[in-house]
Amino acid sequence: MIHIKKILFPTDYSRCSDQALVRALWLAEHHGAELHVVHALLPLDFDPYNLAHHLPDLEGLQRQINRMTSVRTPAYRNYTDVEIVSTTVRGIAAAPAILTYAAEHDIDLVVMGTHGRRGINHFLLGSVAEEVVRMSPCPVLTVRETTPETLEPKQILIPLDFSDFSCEAFGVARSLAADLGATLRALHVVEETIHPSFYITGQTSLESWFPEIEASSVKEMQRIAEQAGGPEVPVEYHIKEGRAAVDIVTFAKRNDIHLIVMASHGLSGIEHFLLGSVTEKVVRLAPCPVLTVKSFGRSLVVKEQNTLAAVK
């Protein structure tokens, strides 16, 4: 069962933020959730020689936030019944300010655009969205500016890498598919440099052993599905050979996927710093919104016997 009672929508007033707002409003109405619209005031982003930036017009910013909450969907529908909390917060950087607000207000889900505003620093540090995805105590739905206008996902993709994190993500994807009446597709990408123990065949050629690898991979995916539990929904299993991030994005494009659900764990150390995890690459390149979940922190899924509060 999906539990979403508080949604955080951070905005910088860009077109990408407007795309994310439409989805935040739809989700808030669909789940009867409270929508928190937040803009972070960042003194270090200001031009120190412009006196106007030393005394920001807080009332003007508040009016701009209020205007954004009346943005219409592509179907020209206003979400007048959604309870909205709008505010501004101060911080030395956007991501920490967003994360602090989410923790202090028990946010269940963050919905935000994926673009950054750091120029060359994006390559080294990642965008604000990627930082929030990496550090958020709750799931994050990221939306690109070019995201299609489909609001209610009918094709959900869950990439699986057979890690312990996959089970949590599968449970969320399955519950969402049941809630939305969507088709759930599970995808595993076999990479030449990554061979889980059950791949071992004594050969090094993936091409010659792919039928065996495909069969064992589907069996492992079915095991994860059984372990994840949740409502019964039809699941399609797909195996591809290649590179995880690239092939996940390619599969989503070719199969008209409306939502990707995946775990937010990834690489560590300097390799993560320079390249980013598979999840962060998918967030950056996916043609549709990406919902990232963790095996710790707040979950969107609660058991039927415990519907009064979100699982932590």
Instruction: Note whether 159 and 233 are same-domain residues.
Output: yes
Instruction: Kindly state the helix (H) or strand (E) to which residue 188 belongs, with its residue range.
Output: strand 183-190
**In a domain? residue 306:** no
Average confidence (pLDDT) over 15-33: 87
The pLDDT value recorded for residue 116 is 45
- Identify the residue with better confidence: 296 or 289: 289
The pLDDT value recorded for residue 158 is 96
| Of the residues 117, 143, 169, the one at which a domain ends | 143
Range of the domain at 268: 155-288
**In a domain? residue 1:** no
Instruction: Note whether 20 and 94 are same-domain residues.
Output: yes
Instruction: Note whether 136 and 160 are same-domain residues.
Output: no
Instruction: Kindly state the helix (H) or strand (E) to which residue 158 belongs, with its residue range.
Output: strand 155-159
**In a domain? residue 308:** no
The pLDDT value recorded for residue 55 is 47
**In a domain? residue 258:** yes
pLDDT at 75 over 60: no
The one-character DSSP state at 52 is G
Instruction: Note whether 115 and 164 are same-domain residues.
Output: no
Please report which residue ranges of 105-202 form alpha helices under DSSP H: 121-125, 128-135, 164-180
Confidence of residue 309 (pLDDT cuts 50, 70, 90): very low
Instruction: Note whether 138 and 168 are same-domain residues.
Output: no
**In a domain? residue 120:** yes
Average confidence (pLDDT) over 101-106: 95
What values do phi and psi take at 138, rounded to 5?
-135, 165
**In a domain? residue 111:** yes
Instruction: Note whether 187 and 244 are same-domain residues.
Output: yes
Instruction: Please state the domain count of the chain.
Output: 2
Joined tokens for residue 199: 């791949």
- Distance in angstroms (rounded) separating the CA atoms of residues 7 and 109: 5
Count of other CB atoms within 10 angstroms of residue 160: 23
Instruction: Note whether 42 and 139 are same-domain residues.
Output: yes
Instruction: Note whether 103 and 124 are same-domain residues.
Output: yes
| Of the residues 116, 143, 170, the one at which a domain ends | 143
- Identify the residue with better confidence: 152 or 70: 152
The pLDDT value recorded for residue 45 is 55
Over pLDDT 90: what percentage of the chain?
32
**In a domain? residue 262:** yes
In angstroms and rounded to an integer, the radius of gyration of the C-alpha atoms of the chain is 20
| Of the residues 143, 163, 189, the one at which a domain ends | 143
Average confidence (pLDDT) over 215-238: 89
**What's the whole-model pTM score?**
0.80
Domain of 79, CATH number, reads 3.40.50.620
Instruction: Note whether 177 and 62 are same-domain residues.
Output: no
pLDDT at 274 over 50: no
Which residues touch 105 (CB under 8 Å, ≥6 apart)?
6, 8, 36
Among 139, 137, 136, 117, smallest CA distance to 127 is for 117
The pLDDT value recorded for residue 268 is 46
∠ CA 242-248-252 to the nearest 5 degrees? 135
- On average, the pLDDT of the chain sits at 77
Instruction: Note whether 39 and 114 are same-domain residues.
Output: yes
pLDDT at 139 over 90: yes
Average confidence (pLDDT) over 78-104: 88
pLDDT at 103 over 90: yes
The pLDDT value recorded for residue 51 is 42
- Distance in angstroms (rounded) separating the CA atoms of residues 239 and 105: 40
Between 168-172, 247-251, 303-307, the lowest mean confidence (pLDDT) is in 303-307
**In a domain? residue 301:** no
- Distance in angstroms (rounded) separating the CA atoms of residues 95 and 10: 10
Residue 87, strand partner residues: 38
- Distance in angstroms (rounded) separating the CA atoms of residues 140 and 110: 5
The pLDDT value recorded for residue 44 is 56
Instruction: Note whether 107 and 208 are same-domain residues.
Output: no
Which residues touch 233 (CB under 8 Å, ≥6 apart)?
174, 177, 178, 184
Instruction: Note whether 49 and 129 are same-domain residues.
Output: yes
Average confidence (pLDDT) over 254-277: 69
